[in-house]
Amino acid sequence: MFLLKKKPAASSATSTAPPAPGGAFDAQREKSAIAEMLLKRSAQLILGRGELEIIRGICQAIVEITPHIRLAWTWFGPSDTQTIRPQVFAGPASAYAESLCIERNLLTRIGPAFSALDSGAPAEPFTVSQFSLFGPWRDAARQHGIHHVVALPIRSAFNGYSGIFVLYADRDGYFDEVGVSLFATLAELFGSLMTVASERSELQRAAYHDALTGLLNRH
């Protein structure tokens, strides 16, 4: 239903979060910089764009604002899906998202992606390393310098559909320090956008199919 969207090339006029005095990580400064820049770019991100383009633009803006977030991706579809593949993604670790495929099984069902999808509640931020039990997490740490991950639910009013918003950081404990409230708010926005997109898609499908036979109407 929703096609894979690759990240656009980064703008040459990228603004990033300013470093804290002395080079120490300042979580509040980081959070404020992300929120401020997203607000400044809001009109540019929203005007004249479709729902998926808005989501992709927000993901791209996040990874441009802070070098600590290596990847941001979303998936949206049937809540009982057996497979999750990133649909919209951005960041230096986009190659990881391109190859990622999470199949529902006994292990992944209790993992962060399916836990957030099935419960509708955020998965606790967690650490990954080159010694993680899950193979893709080892690859994320080894190849892309990823050390902290959070998975947030994308809730939708469209019956039977939901999604997840997943972010990866290069700093262990990043989402514990910065918090997830800002990103959870974005996930709520994504849910509203995807509900609109899904409802429009369903209306278009109904307009072109006979309700009784399911065959295409001739217009």
DSSP-based three-state secondary structure for 132: coil
Query: Does residue 19 form part of some domain?
Result: no
In the 8-state DSSP scheme, what is residue 13? T
Please give the pLDDT value at position 8: 44
| pTM across the whole model | 0.83
- For residues 125 and 149, the answer to whether their CB atoms sit within 8 Å is yes
Q: Tens-of-pLDDT digits for all 219 residues of the chain? A: 454 445 444 433 445 655 555 578 999 999 999 999 999 998 888 887 899 999 999 999 999 999 999 999 999 999 999 999 999 999 999 999 999 999 999 999 999 999 999 999 999 999 999 998 888 899 999 999 999 999 999 999 888 999 999 999 999 999 999 999 999 999 999 999 999 988 876 777 666 645 555 555 655
Q: Could you tell me which of 109, 62, 49, 113 has the C-alpha nearest to residue 89? A: 62
115 within a domain of the structure (yes/no)? yes
pLDDT of residue 7: 46
Whole-number pLDDT of residue 161:
94
Q: Is residue 217 part of a domain?
A: no
166 contacts: CB under 8 Å, gap ≥ 6: 71, 72, 73, 74, 86, 112, 113, 149, 150, 151, 152
Q: Is residue 62 part of a domain?
A: yes
**What's the structural domain count of the chain?**
1
Q: Are 39 and 91 in contact (CB under 8 A)?
A: no
181 lies in a domain? yes
Which residue segment(s) compose the domain that 74 sits in? 26-208
Query: Does residue 134 contact residue 107 with C-beta atoms inside 8 Å?
Result: yes
Could you tell me if residue 75 is inside a domain?
Answer: yes
Q: Is residue 213 part of a domain?
A: no
Question: Per the domain annotation, does 195 fall within a domain?
Answer: yes
The CATH number that applies at residue 143 is 3.30.450.40
DSSP, collapsed to helix, strand or coil, labels residue 75 as strand
Q: Cα separation of 146 and 172, whole Å?
A: 8
